Structure 1
Amino acid sequence: MRDILDAVASGDLSPAEAEARLVGYATTDAGRFDAARERRRGIPEAVLAEGKTPAEVASMAETALETTGRALITRADDAHVAAVTDGLPADATVDHDERARTLVVHAPDFDPPTIDATVAVVTAGTSDAAAAGEAAALAHAVGATVERVDDVGVAHLGRIVDHLDTLRAADVAVVAAGREGALPTVVAGLVDTPVIGLPVSAGYGHGGEGESALASMLQSCTVLSTVNIDDGFTAGAQAGLIARAIAGARDG
């Protein structure tokens, strides 16, 4: 502790960094940032922009960069993105996925993690791309290689069959689908890869807004896990954890 206090006194360590090292989180006006989450859980802390002002998101992103070397922001609109990027150092690395509404910022000296595992992120249709993109961002943040397989819904089974080699080679798959949500069940019946179903709020009328897709995945007759509607964050994080465990087994 004395070393940390001395570093703060000398200016080598900011108060936020010191707090994060001592208690595992840093306190800001916008809330507490869990700087120790990746070390504790294997998943980096993310800032949910939805419901926060642009200034609050920018403050949290600054603290994330200061304490962990990167900021991972989800559900960000244009105002959030502008507020975060306006205050960044010129040599920071920025990856903004407008459709997925994710914003990933790396400090210049940040060394991204890498693991020897692949996550396939699959969409039934283009309408599923936003939730799938969020899942891909999380899996990539954990360090997995991400393979995208897009627009392979069950309206033409030949489309998914054409990508079976890719899916079978992956260590885990996230499969996003709206409407009746059949694609994850089909994929899970064709591969020995763990499959995570991601229901998407695409669809209309009775059972629309993802409700039929969620119910279908929960009632799947093939073995798969299912997250909540549009919850790309949890799907990607869970896929990343499975990928890390597989990579650890390989290394062992």
Structure 2
Amino acid sequence: MGLRDILDDVHSGELTPEEAQARLAGYARTEAGRFDAARESRRGIPEAIFAPGKTTEEIAALAETALETTGRAVITRVDGEAVTALETVLDGEVTHHERARCLVVHAQGFEPPELDASVGVVTGGTADRRSAGEAAVIAGEIGARVERIEDVGVANLSRVIDQLPRLREMDVLVVAAGREGALPTVVAGLVSTPVIGLPVSSGYGFGAGGEAALLGMLQSCSVLSVVNVDAGYVAGTQAGLIASAIADARP
């Protein structure tokens, strides 16, 4: 939009001054910091508010700015008393993804995007669901159809084989695993779908904290890309971007 278009929309009431400021500057100023309101138009992914290290008041201020400028707020790594407080003060449709530690708020009238593309989010075991859930939330907010395929770890390879038809139907796969991180390597060797490995900080002993899982995925002889340990947001955004490109290429 040009400057005159933005001014006309402010005058007609289609844009708030906050939305106009964000479009002109590329971000919106708040007492809690600057919110990147133009990230979605610039990168195709929603800006997220990372909760750790922020007070509830700071999270709320950023979330309110997100709602004013983009129509939604995505808050990651949030739990406990902060969730209860935010659900009370934020105006809109609030969804708390408890296991994924994500809070998503859609302003009244906000229409989430919808892509003609699917993302499969796969876990080796129950311990992987937190990071995988974060990936699923973000990919869904980008507009992809998300399917969860859970508890198919390689300790019993038949569980993966049983799910092969579903895995091969997906346009993109995020595969989360802890311990030695073998599951993404196995899956990537069985499908033609792009695979994003998500190492999880489960496991114990030597290589604990996701280190062995990360190194195992990086050393994979099958073709996959890998994000950092527990980086569900990054895995979800990468999957969403690939899904978006696939959807755009479809007739």
Bucket of the pairwise TM-score, normalised by the shorter protein: over 0.9
Q: Which residue of 1 aligns with 2:21?
A: 19
* Secondary structure in structure 1 of the residue aligned to 2:250: helix
Q: Which residue of 2 aligns with 1:71?
A: 73
Q: Which residue of 1 aligns with 2:222?
A: 222
Indicate conservation of the 8 Å contact 1:174/1:197, yes or no: yes
Deviation at residue 95 of structure 1 after TM alignment: 1.3
User: TM-score normalized by structure 1?
Assistant: 0.94
Moved more, 233-242 or 6-15: 6-15
Q: Does 1:145 align with 2:145?
A: yes
**Superposition pairs of residues 83-162 of structure 1, within 5 angstroms:** 83-89=85-91, 92-162=92-162
Deviation at residue 2 of structure 1 after TM alignment: 6.0
Following the alignment from structure 1 to structure 2, what is the Cα–Cα distance between the partners of residues 132 and 30? 29
Gaps of 5+ in 1: none
Deviation at residue 138 of structure 1 after TM alignment: 0.8
Partner of residue 49 from structure 2, selected from 28, 47, 50: 47
Q: Which residue of 1 aligns with 2:184?
A: 184
Q: Deviations over 1:209-234 (max 9, x none)?
A: 10000000000010000000000000
* Secondary structure in structure 2 of the residue aligned to 1:119: strand
- Kindly provide the amino acid, as one letter, of the partner of residue 82 in structure 2: H
Partner of residue 33 from structure 2, selected from 21, 31, 34: 31
Following the alignment from structure 2 to structure 1, what is the Cα–Cα distance between the partners of residues 249 and 218? 29
Q: CA RMSD in A?
A: 1.6
Following the alignment from structure 2 to structure 1, what is the Cα–Cα distance between the partners of residues 248 and 120? 18
Gaps of 5+ in 2: none
User: TM-score normalized by structure 2?
Assistant: 0.94
Following the alignment from structure 1 to structure 2, what is the Cα–Cα distance between the partners of residues 111 and 56? 26
* Secondary structure in structure 1 of the residue aligned to 2:104: strand
Q: Which residue of 1 aligns with 2:234?
A: 234
Q: Deviations over 1:6-32 (max 9, x none)?
A: 776897754422211211211001111
Deviation at residue 160 of structure 1 after TM alignment: 0.9
What is the aligned residue count? 249
